[in-house]
Amino acid sequence: MSTAQKSPPPYLIVRGSLPPPPPETSVAVVGLGRVGLPLALAFAAKGLRVIGVERDARTRAAIAEQRMPFHEPGCDELLRTRPLEVVADVSELSDGSLPEYVVITVGTPLQAHIEVDLTQLAAVTRSLGKVLRKGQTIVLRSTVAARTTEYVGRVLTRETGLMPGEDFHLAFCPERIVEGKALVELETLPQVVGADDEASRARASALFSVFPVDQLHTSLVGGELIKLFNNVTRYVSFALANQFALIADQFGESVHPLIAMANHDYPRDPIARPGFAAGACLRKDFGMVSENHSTTDMLVAAWRVNEYMPNFVARKLAEHAGGLHQKTIAVLGYTFKRDTDDPRDALTPKLLRYLEREVPREVRIVEPNLGGEIPLEHGGTARNWELTAALRGADAVVLAMNHSRFADVRRFVVGPDAIVAPGAWVADLWNVCNTGELFFCARPQVVGGP
């Protein structure tokens, strides 16, 4: 990027509603996943002329049938009432038909190394280079490591000879929604608008003015870092709660009531709850920060604590239960967080691998948010058990997730209606059974009773 064009970052909070872009403003959203599809539907609902770009044929087929390829509240209705035109590749938007705005929302996973995988972004940028024209605005919305938007600009310059900030506009406007609340949060969360020149900032700002939210104007790198700071804070706060669970366990205490009491009417910095923390955002976003330096820092420590939790749960459960060899284990929850149907980068598969090392008789997985079978990480599927069928006669239970559809679990695990095996041990990471215990015996066998 030419440094001559770079204006100092404004760090400006623009409050309230800005004038929206003219109706019929055209925008392409590239990558119709959990972020891109809700955004495309929300833009269309605001009257913009939207075209989707999605390389996955199954996703395109679902959208053509006006059917959401995944669960996101409110999106089914938007898609049913307003069909979305979708093409497979940006380069199909040629002959001057490329919309005024292109918003890139492709996946940015982490490599097996501590390194962001830019394969999807590189492919989109190369395709975009075939059709980019002067005056267009490119907005990167995927979560990326610092300086990645500059990289997008450099690729576009290499492919076209056009300069960001002079011939076309370039901005970074991160997505900050959580799955399950996409449409609500697009209308309520302040929108970060990162750009290194005034014209790009103004163009990106105008597009996102369709949403009645404050805008946070900053530089490209500023926008990239704000997004990472938000996610890394969550990741570290979950790691801290997990560390507290390990410390409490060392002292023979249960962490759930301790955290509840520490938080009770205490006005500062509530402690999160322990649990598996990974998923398509949190774990990889830590990697995006960490790839830029060599030293061990507190983010690496947070990563280690969160990654250790499945091992801890499997090992402690085995210890309490007197071993898990030839036992039946029910594992409740497979997706990466409460009430989502997204299994990407969840920690339950890692837990299952540790449980399998104990060589149990059977492991029964229950995931009510997945309609059919359980998709396994390296291909194939496993049976998705109905809750009571999985719990009946189970010798051990892991509550790996606190889905709202597990509200009844307590009834089947403790109390007179319990259907687990007598003496069954439970690992309740989320205190779903409300016993206050991380590990407890569900139906203690009374020795020498009447």
Ligand X SMILES: NC(=O)c1ccc[n+]([C@@H]2O[C@H](COP(=O)([O-])OP(=O)(O)OC[C@H]3O[C@@H](n4cnc5c(N)ncnc54)[C@H](O)[C@@H]3O)[C@@H](O)[C@H]2O)c1
* Site map (CB under 6 A) of ligand X, residues 89-118, x = contact: x---------------xxxx----------
Query: Closest by alpha carbon to 106, among 44, 36, 180?
Result: 36
Q: Is 59 a binder of ligand X (CB under 6 A)?
A: yes
Phi/psi at 2 (5° precision) = -75, 125
**Token pair listed for 327:** 């036992």
**Identified binder of ligand X from the candidate list 72, 100, 179, 428, rule CB under 6 A:** 179
Distance of CA 221 to the CA centre of its chain: 21
**Identified binder of ligand X from the candidate list 1, 25, 29, 36, rule CB under 6 A:** 36
Binding region for ligand X (CB under 6 A) out of 31-39, 164-172, 205-213, 348-356: 31-39
What is the distance between the alpha carbons of residues 36 and 51, in angstroms, rounded to a whole number?
A: 11
Q: Is 369 a binder of ligand X (CB under 6 A)?
A: no
Binding region for ligand X (CB under 6 A) out of 26-34, 196-204, 244-252, 365-373: 26-34
Q: Is 60 a binder of ligand X (CB under 6 A)?
A: no
Q: Is 33 a binder of ligand X (CB under 6 A)?
A: yes
**Do the beta carbons of residue 142 and residue 108 sit within 8 Å?**
yes
Would you say 30 or 414 has its CB closer to ligand X? 30
Would you say 35 or 220 has its CB closer to ligand X? 35
Q: Is 192 a binder of ligand X (CB under 6 A)?
A: no
Q: Is 31 a binder of ligand X (CB under 6 A)?
A: yes
Q: Is 426 a binder of ligand X (CB under 6 A)?
A: no
Residue nearest to ligand X as judged by C-beta position = 33
What's the min distance (Å) between Cβ of 319 and ligand X? 36
Binding region for ligand X (CB under 6 A) out of 11-19, 119-127, 210-218, 428-436: 119-127
What is the distance between the alpha carbons of residues 59 and 114, in angstroms, rounded to a whole number?
A: 29
Count CA atoms within 13 Å of residue 331 on its CB side: 28
**Do the beta carbons of residue 135 and residue 123 sit within 8 Å?**
no
Q: Is 35 a binder of ligand X (CB under 6 A)?
A: yes
Strand order from edge to edge, sheet including 362-366: 362-366, 328-332, 396-399, 425-428, 439-441
**Identified binder of ligand X from the candidate list 43, 55, 110, 398, rule CB under 6 A:** 55
Strand partners, 364: 330
What's the min distance (Å) between Cβ of 144 and ligand X? 7
Binding region for ligand X (CB under 6 A) out of 29-37, 185-193, 242-250, 357-365: 29-37
* Site map (CB under 6 A) of ligand X, residues 268-307, x = contact: ------------xx--------------------------
Q: Is 54 a binder of ligand X (CB under 6 A)?
A: yes
**Identified binder of ligand X from the candidate list 21, 29, 34, 412, rule CB under 6 A:** 34
What's the min distance (Å) between Cβ of 361 and ligand X? 36
Binding region for ligand X (CB under 6 A) out of 47-55, 266-274, 351-359, 390-398: 47-55
CB burial string 273-302: b at 16+ within 10 A, e below: bbbbbbbbbbbbbbbbbbbeeeeeeebeeb
Strand partners, 139: 103, 171
Residue type, 4: A
Count CA atoms within 13 Å of residue 189 on its CB side: 17
Instruction: Give me the sign of the Cα torsion angle 342, 301, 151, 103.
Output: positive
Pairing verdict, β 137-140 and 169-172: parallel
What's the min distance (Å) between Cβ of 106 and ligand X? 4
CA-to-CA dists, residue 344 to 106, 277, 374, angstroms? 15, 12, 12
What is the distance between the alpha carbons of residues 256 and 274, in angstroms, rounded to a whole number?
A: 8
What is the distance between the alpha carbons of residues 358 and 325, in angstroms, rounded to a whole number?
A: 5
Q: Is 384 a binder of ligand X (CB under 6 A)?
A: no
**Identified binder of ligand X from the candidate list 53, 62, 86, 220, rule CB under 6 A:** 53
Q: Which residues bind ligand X (CB under 6 A)?
A: 30-36, 53-56, 59, 89, 105-108, 120, 123-124, 142-143, 175, 177-179, 280-281
